[in-house]
Amino acid sequence: MTRSSMLSSLAVLSLSFLSAGCATLDEAQAEQDIRQLVTEQTAGWNAHDAAVWTQSFTDDADFTNIVGTVFQGREEIESRHAAIFASIFKTSHAEVTVRRLVFPGPDVAVVDTVHEVTGHTGLPPGVQNTEEGVLRTQMKYVLKRTDNQWRIVTGQNTDVKPAPKPAP
């Protein structure tokens, strides 16, 4: 066997082992699971329950809120949400729509959602309602599947600014 044919055989053998060891994804089931995660998280928001809202974050997740503050770890994310659920968002209600869901790999998902929050008694400094009584945000999560469970590893929330007023 020549050196080049031996290297070719090793490459083919290596690729065979790699493809056999790669995880597969049932996208329909994964989409259903992630949509359920979003539904449960929304129920946590509407119950003003920070523990439920954060239960799908990994322990070492990070989250950037609508004013750009980064929270490190599920515990800090939960603590911050408990504070807002006890104050400006204690009477709020959220409706969440999945805008886009993609799977860049068998164990990774990116989900974009639109949040419409009403019933709040105030907003963080620099944030304003998108329209009268409605705060709309775009939330993006990166999720990782571990032991057949989808978990949020990072999140970014961005407020949608109101449309400019027409010129007179």
Predicted local confidence at residue 127, as pLDDT: 95
Q: Could you read off the pLDDT of 23-69 as tens digits, one per residue? A: 688 999 999 999 999 999 999 999 999 999 999 999 999 999 999 99
How far apart (Å, rounded) are the C-alpha atoms in residues 127 and 139?
15
Helices (H), 89-161: none
Predicted local confidence at residue 142, as pLDDT: 98
* Residue 53 counted as domain residue: yes
User: Looking at the 3D structure of the chain, how many domains does it have?
Assistant: 1
Identify the CA nearest to 56 among candidates 34, 84, 86: 34
Average pLDDT over residues 94-119: 98
* Residue 8 counted as domain residue: no
In sequence order, the 6+-apart residues with CB closer than 8 A to the CB of 86 are 48
Average pLDDT over residues 13-24: 45
* Residue 165 counted as domain residue: no
Per-residue pLDDT for 22 more than 60? no
Instruction: Tell me the C-alpha to C-alpha distance, in Å, between residue 9 and each of 17, 32, 61.
Output: 12, 41, 42
* Residue 12 counted as domain residue: no
* Residue 80 counted as domain residue: yes
* Residue 164 counted as domain residue: no
pTM attached to this predicted model: 0.83
Domain that holds residue 90: 26-159
Predicted local confidence at residue 103, as pLDDT: 97
* Residue 64 counted as domain residue: yes
- Taking only Cα atoms into account, the Rg of the chain, rounded to an integer number of angstroms, comes to 21
CATH number of the domain residue 91 falls in: 3.10.450.50
* Residue 52 counted as domain residue: yes
